[in-house]
Structure 1
Amino acid sequence: MGYRVVDTDAVEPAPDRPCDQRALSEPAGLTQMAVNRFVAEPGEQIPLAYHYHDEQEEAFFVLSGTLHVETPEETYEVGPNDLFAVEPESPQRAFNPEDATEAVDVVAVGAPPSADDVHAYEPEP
């Protein structure tokens, strides 16, 4: 059996992200899912680009603030204690708008973990 407690504040933020992103899978010893914690200040987005995955399912659980998720059909507003789920092949871009009054704190889970199945998405003008 294996158990771990991870102090997410002790995990170093990724240096190349548009917001504060802490990759938690490795410190937790997880190999079957990707787990990240994001804190996006007003005007920051969570992913590097508007994107979709071939096989990965994603879930965003909002701890505080309001997460905005742009999709081809609409932009969702996801508040504290709500979960936003994304099926494979569903384009999305999660962000905190510039006019927000506070940061948004989110735990994101993706499974299966894969860096090779992500694709940039260009929305129609």
Structure 2
Amino acid sequence: MEHVAVDEVDNAVQPAAVMRRLTDELGCEDLAINYYELAPGDSFAFAYHEHSVQEEVFVVLSGTATWETESGTVTVGPNEAIRFGPGERQRGWNRTDEDGEGERVRALALGAPLSYGDQPKTAPCPECGEDAPVSIGRPDDDPEAVVTTCDDCGTEVGRWVRGDDGDNERVV
């Protein structure tokens, strides 16, 4: 048995204000589990993506999350869950009042098996003028940040850092 206080797990730099990886903390061997808090405008993921071998379930604890999917937009409220099978493209957001006055989304993400497999990702590139394949990494100029970079032209399309208040924030 393993036991952990979620608030005591480090906040990973992600597009969510708070993302705490619980997988290792709980000793999970074939299940990925993450806790999220999304401020208005935040996303669960760096880009629109899919997992080639992993199914992913999100359980919304509070707030309302909105997913962009290949079949349209899906809204998930408190005490509701959504499942994406391997190969289903998606990206979830907190779309409530993106001016900063909305409620945070609190959710758990569960994925099995633990391996993600291939994860093709796309995001809007201002240079290319369309959704383009992107890569995620840490930049040389700030190894604490995480960036998404357009694979076609090399433009940085997103950068996330830890803010002074301890929450993650997007700066590009």
Asked if residue 18 in structure 1 is aligned to residue 15 in structure 2, the reply is: yes
Check whether the contact 1:56–1:117 (CA below 8 A) recurs between aligned residues.
no
Show CA shifts across 1:49-92 (max 9, x none).
Answer: 11001110000000000011110221111011111000111000
More strand by share: 2
Check whether the contact 2:53–2:117 (CA below 8 A) recurs between aligned residues.
no
Highest RCO, 1 vs 2 (Cα 8 Å, sep ≥ 6): 1
After TM superposition, give the deviation of residue 14 of structure 1 in Å.
Answer: 0.3
Q: What stretches of structure 1 of length at least 5 have no aligned partner?
A: none
Report how many aligned residue pairs link the two structures: 122
- TM (norm. structure 1) is 0.90
1:32 is matched with which residue?
30
After TM superposition, give the deviation of residue 26 of structure 1 in Å.
Answer: 0.3
Cα distance in 2 between the residues matched to 1:59 and 1:122: 22
Q: Bigger radius of gyration, 1 or 2?
A: 2
Moved more, 98-107 or 19-28: 98-107
Asked if residue 67 in structure 1 is aligned to residue 59 in structure 2, the reply is: no
Moved more, 99-108 or 27-36: 99-108
Q: Secondary structure at the match of 2:24?
A: helix
Moved more, 63-72 or 113-122: 113-122
After TM superposition, give the deviation of residue 116 of structure 1 in Å.
Answer: 4.0
Judged with a 3 Å threshold, the aligned counterparts in structure 2 of structure 1 residues 93 and 110 are, in CA distance, closer, same or farther, namely same
After TM superposition, give the deviation of residue 4 of structure 1 in Å.
Answer: 1.4
- TM (norm. structure 2) is 0.66
